[in-house]
Amino acid sequence: MKIRLMAGVVALGLAVAGCGGGARVDTGATATAAAQPSGSGSAAPAGTVNIAINPWVGYEATAAVIAHLLTNELGYTVQKKELKEEVAWAGFETGEVDVIVENWGHDDLKKKYFEEKKVALSAGSTGNKGIIGWYVPQWMADKYPDITDYKNLNKYADLFKTSESGGKGQLLDGDPSYVTNDEALVKNLKLDFKVVTGGSEAALLESAVQAQEQQKPLLFYFWTPHWLFDKVKLARVNLPPYTAGCDADPKKVACDYGELDLDKIVSKKFADTGGKAYELVKNFSWTNEDQNAVANDIQNNGMSAEDAAKKWVEANQAKWQAWLPK
């Protein structure tokens, strides 16, 4: 009885998997005939595009505009999946993610998924320039004009002391998934500061807003494009200028962050079979101002991502017409 039941289960399993050789994870590269759990459609003729949504609003803005065009101009169905970056990349391999619309560097992941696993490739720049840097609220730059030069930071270290910084000034860092050289920078530039890790983007946002409202000192890691610049006035602290290769050795970095060209990443399978949807994703390119406008509507004007995208699309016909596949 028990054995019969087992046999039944296995037989059913084989039927579900649709192949006699066990259940393979559907890699984009080999594209075996393995079963897909329903609910995670693929970019096959059905016309579903799976877009990963990384957790920041600028990303959501880009994704919303692409999704709007895919749905309304090309007739695709779009599935959005909230994922952190690292996890989203893993989705290329299982076929659960087709597109990452805004990628910040991640050379280690590119090496793994482009070269070793061969399941993903870059679909070109988004047109957005990502700039990471150290910021203080504008009121501090007004009150202490020389604070925006890193050489003077030690002079003001006392201002930045908090209960967490152990007698030194505090440099607030964000989510652990972010690209950062801050520990090395503080050490190599001989700054009397301690890197305190907030642990999330929310920790940075709340601190920055309070720093403006309450006129409290704050030195923190931040980046553009970001909607926060529309709400809080910030001034960038100048570190020794970036030159190509100055950040090659992560332990010896003593220069500012370089400008990152943000790009789109797609699964190999989507590039091969995505048709018009892939063309659109590849052609997509806009400016930081475009993205900030949409992100600001989502973040501060209470619009849904869909409505904000629609508003931008209606106002910028010429731009997106050029992205549509011929």
Partner 1 sequence: MSGAVATLETPALRRPPRWLVPVAVGVVLLAGYLTMRGTATLPHDDEAAPFLAVNQARDWVDSNRNDNPLFLYGVNYVRIYLGELYAAFETVLFALGWPGLVGVLGALGWLAGGWRLALLGVGGFAALGVLGVWEASVRTLALVLTSVLVALAVGLPLGVRAGRSARVRRALTPVLDVMQIMPTFAYLTPMVLFFGIGPSSATVATLIYAMPVAIRITALAVERVSPTAIEASASLGATRWQTLRKVQLPMARETIALAINQAIMMALSMVVIAALISAPGLGSDIIRGLSRANVGFMLPAGIAIVVMAIVLDRLTMAAAKRERTAQAAPSGPRRYAVAGAIAVAGAVAATLLPARFPDAWILRIGPPVTEAVNWAKFSWYDVTTAIRNVTSDLLLNPLQDVLTSTPWWLVAAAVLALAWWASGPRPALTALACLLGLALLGLWEHSMATLTTVLVAVTVTLMLGLLLGVAAARSRGFSAVQRPLLDAAQTMPSIVYLLPALALFGATRFTAIFASVIYAVPPVVRLVEDGIRGVSPTTVEAALSAGSTGGQLLWKVQLPMARGAILLAANQGIVMTLAMVVVGGMVGAGGLGYDVVTGFSQHSEFGMGFVAGVGTVLLGIMLDRITQGADRRSSPQVRG
199 binds partner 1 (CB under 8 A): yes
**Binding segment (CB under 8 A) for partner 1, from list 70-78, 138-146, 190-198, 268-276:** 190-198
Separation between Cα atoms, residue 186 and residue 192, nearest integer Å:
8
Least CB distance to partner 1 at residue 21 (A): 7
265 binds partner 1 (CB under 8 A): no
DSSP output for 256-304: PPPEEEEEEEEEHHHHHH-HHHHHHHHH----HHHHHHHHHHHHHS---
Q: Judged by CB, which is closer to partner 1: 152, or 304?
A: 304
Q: Judged by CB, which is closer to partner 1: 60, or 182?
A: 60
Q: What is the 3-state secondary structure (H, E, C) of 183-197?
A: HHHHHHCCCCEEEEE
Give the burial string for 247-273 (b: 16+ CB within 10 Å, else e). Answer: beeeeebebbbbebebbbbbbbbbbeb
Query: 202 φ, ψ to 5°?
Result: -55, -35
Least CB distance to partner 1 at residue 227 (A): 9
Query: 224 φ, ψ to 5°?
Result: -125, 145
Nearest CA-CA partner of 70 in 308, 318, 264, 306 = 306
172 binds partner 1 (CB under 8 A): yes
42 binds partner 1 (CB under 8 A): no
Q: Judged by CB, which is closer to partner 1: 34, or 280?
A: 34
Least CB distance to partner 1 at residue 131 (A): 19
Least CB distance to partner 1 at residue 156 (A): 19
| Residue 128 structure tokens | 């957005």
Separation between Cα atoms, residue 306 and residue 285, nearest integer Å:
19
203 binds partner 1 (CB under 8 A): yes
**Binding segment (CB under 8 A) for partner 1, from list 66-74, 150-158, 168-176, 265-273:** 168-176
Q: Widest CA span of the chain, in angstroms? A: 83
Separation between Cα atoms, residue 168 and residue 181, nearest integer Å:
19
Position among 48, 122, 138, 162 found at the interface with partner 1 (CB under 8 A): 162
20 binds partner 1 (CB under 8 A): no
**Binding segment (CB under 8 A) for partner 1, from list 90-98, 239-247, 286-294, 306-314:** 90-98
Are 91 and 53 in contact by the 8 Å Cβ rule? The answer is no
49 binds partner 1 (CB under 8 A): no
Q: Judged by CB, which is closer to partner 1: 34, or 262?
A: 34
214 binds partner 1 (CB under 8 A): yes
* Interacting residues with partner 1 (CB under 8 A): 13, 16-17, 21-25, 27, 30, 34-35, 37-40, 55-57, 60, 81-87, 90-91, 94, 96-97, 108-109, 112, 162-164, 166, 172, 175-177, 196-207, 209-210, 213-214, 298-299, 302
